Structure 1
Amino acid sequence: MTSIDDDFPEMVRQRLEQLGTSPFAVEHAAGLPADAVRNVLRGGGKSGPTLTRVRQICDALGLELYIGPPREAGPVERILLDGADYAHIPLHDAMLAAGAGCDNSAEQVIDQLAFRRDWLKRIGVPASTARLARVQGDSMQPTMWPGDMILIDTQRKVPAIRTKDGKDQRRSPIYAMIDNGEARVKRIERPSAELMMLISDNPDYAPEVRQGGDIQAVQIIGKVVWWGHTVKE
């Protein structure tokens, strides 16, 4: 019989890899004590982490307290097509502005699209946390165009804090967010806990800086994990 002490470090390690973040970044972003996550990975301590610490780490990583990847909860319809298992993902009547922001006060689910469950599992997105919306505006061109559909993983709400040197060519991840009450989609760079940069792919738009208390005005909806273009003649 396995115990939390046996399984928990590996679950934490896998979740960090899935989120593309580091133990230090999670500790810093969640206000955990220094080495709280790193001690788990090292298997430090004779008795292992306390239940309170396990709960704090799970909350920071988006894990449920049963200890494991988030279980699919809620009414997710299953479809079998040519032997493949699909899940219905809701499309919301919401426009996420690649620009100044949109007001989606009347947002509601207007359709459902089927995605293969094995593909969702491969990219680490539970069907129950996946949502679809559309893009409006040109600030994310040429990556995203007006009318493009985006798939959002609503369990990924904590952009990793990372410092970049000249050799780091990785692009910042794209997030859907509510910024000062308006829905937007931007790349988010977090050089530190006190600094957030909203970055557009269109060079005509300058990066936007959020510092200190202004960061709290940015409510992350989730990470954008896929998008699709609609061809218009």
Structure 2
Amino acid sequence: MHPRRRRWPFARAGGSRIHHVLPHRAARRPGPRSGPSKVRSDSMDGTLADGDWVLVDRSSRDPHTEGVFLLLVHGERRIKRGQRVASGAWLLISDNEHYRPEMIPPEQMREVEILGRCEVRIGRIS
């Protein structure tokens, strides 16, 4: 490679395959930015597959809006569909029907941190 030519920091091509799509450091940047997160479960099958990447809008943390969120629940990172219910509780829904919805009552909401709203899916073409 020519010494003056810069390679893209987010992609290393090996033939026609891209081995690394997004920088891991971007996921830890504070503030109103988008960052990547890798899906590591089949709980959102139908919407997100295990191994997909999502771009998370870290400035969108409003629990009153519905959508798919990256959450920290009891110290565990999860991607779930969040829905506010009448009692003020939050319902965490997996799109895979093999998983039951999880109800987070208002008094336990302090144990849930909304890390951001999942806006873009990047996945493998099959």
| Alignment partner, residue 101 of structure 2 | 207
Q: Is the 8 A contact 1:91 1:133 kept in 2?
A: no
- The alignment status of 1:217 with 2:111, answered yes or no, reads yes
Aligned counterparts, 1:1-233, within 5 A:
91-92=23-24, 109=25, 129-160=33-64, 172-192=66-86, 194-231=88-125
Structure 2: gaps (5+ residues): 1-21
| Inter-CA distance 193–225: structure 2 relative to 1 (3 Å threshold) | farther
Q: CA deviation at 1:134?
A: 0.5
| Inter-CA distance 110–176: structure 2 relative to 1 (3 Å threshold) | closer
Which portions of structure 1, spanning 4 or more consecutive aligned residues, are displaced by more than 3 angstroms?
Answer: none
Aligned length: 102
Could you say which structure has the higher strand fraction? 2
When normalised by structure 1's length, the TM-score is 0.40
Deviations 1:93-113 (A, max 9, x none): xxxxxxxxxxxxxxxx289xx
Other structure's SS at 2:97 match = coil
* Residue type of the alignment partner of 1:130: S
Deviations 1:179-219 (A, max 9, x none): 00011100000124621000000001110001022111110
Point out which structure has higher relative CO (alpha carbons under 8 A, 6+ apart).
2
Cα distance in 2, alignment partners of residues 207 and 179 from structure 1: 14
Q: CA RMSD in A?
A: 2.3
- Give me the identity figure in percent: 28
Structure 1: gaps (5+ residues): 1-89, 93-108, 112-127, 162-171
Cα distance in 1, alignment partners of residues 125 and 36 from structure 2: 18
When normalised by structure 2's length, the TM-score is 0.72
Could you say which structure has the higher helix fraction? 1
| Inter-CA distance 110–216: structure 2 relative to 1 (3 Å threshold) | closer
| Inter-CA distance 216–229: structure 2 relative to 1 (3 Å threshold) | same
Larger radius of gyration: 1
